[in-house]
A and B are shown apart, each in its own frame.
Chain A
Amino acid sequence: MARPEDSARHGEPRGGHRSVPHTADLRVEAWAPTREECLAHAVRGVCESFVDLSGAVGRRRRDVEVRAETDEDLLVALLDEVVYRLDADGEVPVDAEPAAVPGGMRAVPHMADVGTLAGTGAAPKAVTLHGLSFGRGGHGWECSVTLDV
């Protein structure tokens, strides 16, 4: 286990996230009282694995809406968006406050240019389905997801 980030700071979603070792890749775990807060922590955990987000300033906003049949697939769809925006446009979300919409979720995160942030690790390039989990647990909601870096 590494870098647990429990968050009850003002303006941040309740819950926490951490990255855990995998031989070649990145595994992120997150937990929070609600599904949407847990999603927000998963996004934060993925982004903090490769850039330092402390003090990061968003330059523009993106309207992100994803839908999926299961909560696990919703998590994957949201992280797919993060990876895509990073690779295609060099953008990283500095906040994410997902809200439930019928069949999915919507967020309008502020996006920072990755070039303005200090790198802290290899960037994710894809979201895998290996060892994927997302559901109710001891913290309310818990998830685990593995990304290719």
Chain B
Amino acid sequence: MDITLTEESPFRFRIERRGAMRVPGTVFATRDLLPEAAGDQALEQVANVATLPGIVRASFAMPDVHWGYGFPIGGVAATDIDDAGVVSPGGVGFDISCGVRLLAAGIDREGLEPRLRELMDILGDTVPRGTGPGGLWSLSGRPQMDELLARGARYAVERGHGVPRDLAFCEDYGALEDADPSQVGARAVERGLRQVGSLGSGNHFLEVQAVERVHDEKAAAAFGLRPGGVCVMIHCGSRGLGHQVCTDHVRVMDRSLRRFGISLPDRQLACAPVVSPEGRAYLGAMAAAANYGRANRQLLTEAVRRAFTSAAGVEVDLVYDVSHNMAKTETHEVDGEPRRLCVHRKGATRALPPGHPDLPGELSGAGQPVLIPGTMGTASYVLVGERGNDAFHSTCHGAGRVWSRHQALRRVRGEELRGRLEAGGVTVRPSSWRGLAEETPEAYKDVDAVAAATEGAGLAHLVARLVPLGVVKG
């Protein structure tokens, strides 16, 4: 399909409705950030998503949009639950509740410097990562797994893996209430039993960072961030359990499409009405997997705390925990009427503005922290939600890939990259040389440009720029 973009502003482009599209497409980006690689189907995927039954307003793409399967990565789509709107597991992604957690340590960059190598050694040795089983918390069996799936990070904290304050700074207070563990299949549970508290592989990481620049002093202070302060960013999700949940429910919905009279341009967009048994089953399982993802990051937080206590004798507080692969029931005004919507964010982050009722009191005045990991050689950002965001309070989730893994491996060697990063002052603990090379900074868009476009488009505004000091790669 040939996609024609109309520039509405320097940060906003429109894909006009045509064919089976029910709404237009809206792409938040600058011209330089638009996908352009040969064969990249990201914009075609934006148009495909616009064909979903019940979709309202537009099929949105964030400034970090890139080619996914079914949905683009960096896509947002909301469907009207009470007007035959569908839920699509592909609109959430395989790694349900993949997300980012930011921690602030009670130490500055200068104070940590003589202890950084020891800290990275401890983190490198104690944070489980890579393929297959292996996590910090091995669950005893299905009954305990069901507890964790029902109560997420809350269960982890109750069992001593954190402090109650952590939950207030976690999206949904650490757990989605409507989780239905009975909709999580045996294979998903088996994959998940021995992976709680593990990074996994691919683009997941745990990074020690420093606040290099504060853009919004008031918001930074509200988030506990100060210039030179040390932070830890954790990027991971629901591991094999989340992938199996998505796999199982995509298969079910793929088989039920004809019954619902739905035809789609891509099988990975498989979906079912939110109110159907298939839709409800998926949303219950998805919430359970999301809770697993929050518990996973909670366990990794505990490992970080132990490492900082041991290496530097300092405490670590949670700044915030966001999920960027989720579908949520939210009420938004559409054409002047409040509507109950199923908001899919695939590689996109919820970004609540100041005063939003879903924010904890401590963050109400400032707004929701938005955590945008960049690359291990450049920077990451903290932003905050803005009023007037018409993409259902959504924003980007990262820098956005531009190179395939093949391309990265052809151009970069892991050993060379590690030397380059270390020469630039970034300590690296890779799990494999190839895995490191695949995640080379050049494989991603310029995160400074993505952050600037996000602010320019009015989706969120900049609070702080963080630079890497040490990386534990999944």
Contact = CB atoms under 8 A, between A and B. Distances in A.
Contacts of A120: 434
B402 interface: yes
A83 B268 CA distance: 18
Contacts of B70: 128-130
A130 B268 contact: yes
A129 B404 contact: no
Interface residues of A, number: 36
A21 B407 contact: yes
A61 B394 CA distance: 48
Contacts of A88: 133, 187, 190-191, 240
Contacts of B162: none
Contacts of B201: 122-123, 149
Contacts of B190: 88
B97 interface: no
Nearest to A149: B202
B73 interface: yes
Nearest to B264: A129
B132 A24 contact: no
B406 A24 contact: no
Interface in A73-119: 80, 83-84, 86-90, 114-115, 119
Interface string A1-45: 010000000000000000111111110000000000000000000
Contact of A19 (B244, B250, B406, B410): B406
A137 interface: no
A84 B187 contact: yes
Nearest to A130: B69
A126 interface: yes
B401 A23 contact: yes
A46 interface: no
Looking at B133, B404, B434, B438, which has the most chain A CB atoms within 10 Å of its CB? B404
Given A84-B191, A87-B240, A90-B133, A23 B406 contact: no
B37 interface: yes
Interface string B397-409: 0000111111101
A127 B267 CA distance: 12
27 contacts: A2-B406, A21-B405, A21-B407, A22-B67, A23-B404, A24-B66, A24-B405, A86-B131, A87-B132, A87-B243, A87-B244, A88-B133, A90-B132, A115-B132, A119-B435, A120-B434, A121-B435, A122-B202, A122-B405, A122-B438, A125-B240, A125-B243, A126-B94, A126-B247, A129-B250, A130-B69, A131-B69
Q: 4 closest A-B pairs (Cβ-Cβ)?
A: A130-B69, A21-B404, A129-B267, A123-B131
